[in-house]
Chains A and B, each alone.
Chain A
């Protein structure tokens, strides 16, 4: 992941900064008109851990990982799920027949069926905002400053610098998906 002409969108999430306000979930739902009851992103919780009175609680925001090796793309029978040059994994709604195989294949449960349109949908990293030079809605609204987005291939970007300076992991590394969302805890 060195300096590269090609852009690769990614996210870095500092879980210590997350306070579980869930503003990112609200912002996403408003920005992307997500159907009621469905979610493009989430905030996971671990704990309380420890023994009273020394207790701990950890929050872990998440969304579609825009994997480099996406299992959803592999199983799509119509080629509706595709990956852009800049790393975004997106759905062509004209080709999607709503078979939901991709939903079975995703280890992160990132996808949902949009019942009204009959197609499967998910986080797009707010591609419409990225293409307009803006940040994804969840990143822009995060009041704790836990969510960061940017070009992983640009060494001067915030995300690249965060990764260079901190230990980081991804979720379900053993699944071989190579996510574009990194976690710093």
Chain B
């Protein structure tokens, strides 16, 4: 009776869409807040944002019973279906994030302006089409503003998609939307942190402010996740039979180790400890965070892994949870 219809393709999509949404969101924040201070974060976030979502959407289409019929999603809007709303949302997000990313591609055109005259003419023309630096900054701000609510919506709607299904007691709580949103923001931030760490730029002193932004944002998001998970567990355990029975899946049942070791220990507690350790000197009035490429790469990789396991546990455990069988009497 309990078949797992939505498998790893769906789990991957949920994870990738979350990373995209979070990367866009932190980039939008970096664009608007602090002027030139967070420019590097904004750039990395912008350039990362479109791709995981696009890969995820590809996986979703492949997962369909009739992949070639996917266009049916765009012949209608079914307002009561989170999946319909999500399909449209995702399309808007992808187009918007691609346009936004284009504005952040480093312009090699400036070099061309010093080239021989013919090439200069081409460069000037291209520059005119592609906007002046001031216009580029303005468009970045516009797309960041427009895209920020879209990215939050992408981060949250998957939680609504699962959470609004009463037939799967493990999923059926409004808290799922919040949990998925915080996880999306957290994994997106971690992705940006990981890329800056791998690029090595992270280590340079002039990026100290950005390092602090990324690490402290991630800490806040991780703490928020904890504050979502605790009521989630309690609420289910104290709810009617179907819910209480479903939460046993991670309190002794088949997904217990995945949840507590994968999601909680590796994905939440360890990164929290590492990032806290990195940020600690600043709280004691030191001038800089303790930064090391290895620590940042480790904590962000753990957050990403934990976010994936979170999606895996929830998607699978939810499908195992059913209304408890009851015969008509």
Residues of A participating in the B interface, judged by any CB pair closer than 8 Å:
15, 44, 46, 58, 60, 71, 74-80, 95-101, 103-107, 109, 113-115, 117-120, 169-172, 175, 183, 185
Contact = CB atoms under 8 A, between A and B. Distances in A.
Given A175-B166, A185-B329, A100 B323 contact: no
B36 interface: no
A107 B325 CA distance: 10
Given A104-B6, A118-B64, A97 B326 contact: no
A172 B323 CA distance: 8
B132 interface: no
17 contacts: A75-B81, A77-B86, A79-B78, A80-B72, A97-B72, A97-B73, A98-B69, A101-B81, A103-B3, A104-B5, A107-B166, A107-B323, A109-B322, A113-B5, A119-B66, A169-B328, A175-B167
Contact of B327 (A44, A79, A103, A115): A44
Nearest to B161: A101
Given A76-B81, A104-B167, A172-B323, A185 B328 contact: yes
A75 B83 contact: yes
A68 B24 CA distance: 42
A12 to B, nearest CB: 11
B5 A76 contact: no
Contacts of A119: 65-66
A155 B167 CA distance: 33
A46 B1 CA distance: 15
Contacts of A107: 166-167, 322-323
Contacts, number: 108
B323 to A, nearest CB: 5
B82 interface: yes
Nearest to B319: A104
Contacts of B325: 44
Contact of A105 (B1, B165, B326): B165
Contacts of A169: 328-329
B1 A113 contact: no
A75 B75 contact: no
B76 interface: yes
Q: Which 9 A-B pairs have the closest CB atoms?
A: A98-B65, A118-B65, A183-B328, A118-B66, A77-B84, A77-B83, A107-B167, A78-B72, A100-B5
Contacts of A100: 5-6, 65
- Chain B at the A interface: mostly helix, strand, loop or mixed? loop
Given A77-B81, A104-B165, A175-B323, A109 B64 contact: no
B76 A78 contact: yes
A109 B87 CA distance: 25
Contacts of A101: 81, 83, 161
Given A77-B78, A95-B72, A172-B326, A103 B5 contact: yes
A7 to B, nearest CB: 24
A96 B66 contact: yes
A113 B327 CA distance: 25
B65 A96 contact: yes
Contacts of A76: 78, 81
Interface in B71-117: 72-73, 75-76, 78, 80-84, 86-87
A105 B86 CA distance: 17
Contacts of B64: 97-99, 118
B65 A120 contact: yes
B70 interface: yes
B168 interface: yes
A106 B86 CA distance: 20
Interface in B33-76: 64-67, 69-70, 72-73, 75-76
Nearest to B2: A109
A100 to B, nearest CB: 4
B266 to A, nearest CB: 28
A175 B82 CA distance: 19
A118 B166 CA distance: 25
A60 B81 contact: no
